Amino acid sequence: MTPRALVTGASSGIGKALATELAKRGWKLVLVARDEQKLVNLAEGLVNGPHEVLCGDLSTDSGMFDVCARIDADLEPVTLLVTAAGSGTSGAFPWSPMTEEETMLRVNVLATLRLTHTAAHAMKRRRVGGIITVASTAAYWSAGTYAASKSWVLLTTLGLRAQLDKSGVRVMALSPGFTKTEFHARSQTDPSGVKAWMWLDAEDVARQAMDDFDAGKAVCVPGRRYRALVETVRHLPPGGRSAVLRRLAPLRSQAKVTPLPPDSSQD
Per-residue pLDDT reduced to its tens digit, 52-69: 999 999 999 999 999 999
Per-chain mean pLDDT for the chain: 90
Query: In 10 A of CB 196, how many CB atoms?
Result: 5
Of the residues 16, 140, 146, 226, which is catalytic? 146
**233/102 Cα distance (integer angstroms):** 29
Q: Is residue 146 part of a domain?
A: yes
Domain that holds residue 194: 4-253
The reported pLDDT for the residue numbered 187 is 60
pLDDT at res. 249: 63
Res 113 pLDDT > 60: yes
For residue 154, give the CATH number of its domain. Answer: 3.40.50.720
Specify the pLDDT at position 255: 57
What is the Cα–Cα distance from 22 to 130, expressed in whole angstroms? 13
Is residue 116 pLDDT above 70, yes or no? Answer: yes
Residue 261 resides in a domain: no
Q: Is 226 a catalytic residue?
A: no
User: 5-38, pLDDT tens digit by residue?
Assistant: 999 999 999 999 999 999 999 999 999 999 999 9
pLDDT of residue 251: 60
pLDDT higher than threshold 50 for residue 4: yes
Report if residue 188 sits inside a domain: yes
Sign of torsion over alpha carbons 42, 25, 50, 57: negative
Pairing of strands 129-134, 169-174: parallel
Query: Is 260 within a domain?
Result: no
Q: Is 190 a domain residue? A: yes
Residue closest to 222 by CA, chosen among 238, 241, 199, 195: 199
Indicate which residue of 16, 28, 140, 150 is catalytic.
Answer: 150
Q: pTM of the prediction?
A: 0.89
Task: Summarize the confidence of residues 90-112 as an average pLDDT.
Answer: 94
> What are the strands, taking DSSP E only, across 166-223?
169-174, 189-190, 219-220
CA–CA distance, 123 with 182 (Å, rounded to integer): 32
Would 264 be classed as within a structural domain?
no
Q: Work out how many domains the chain is built from and give that number.
A: 1
Phi, psi (degrees; rounded to nearest 5) at 121: -70, -45
Q: What is the pLDDT, as a whole number, of residue 164?
A: 98
Distance CA 154, CA 139 (A): 7
Instruction: Tell me if 258 is assigned to some domain.
Output: no
Respond yes or no: is residue 140 known to be catalytic.
Answer: no
> Is 167 contained in some domain?
yes
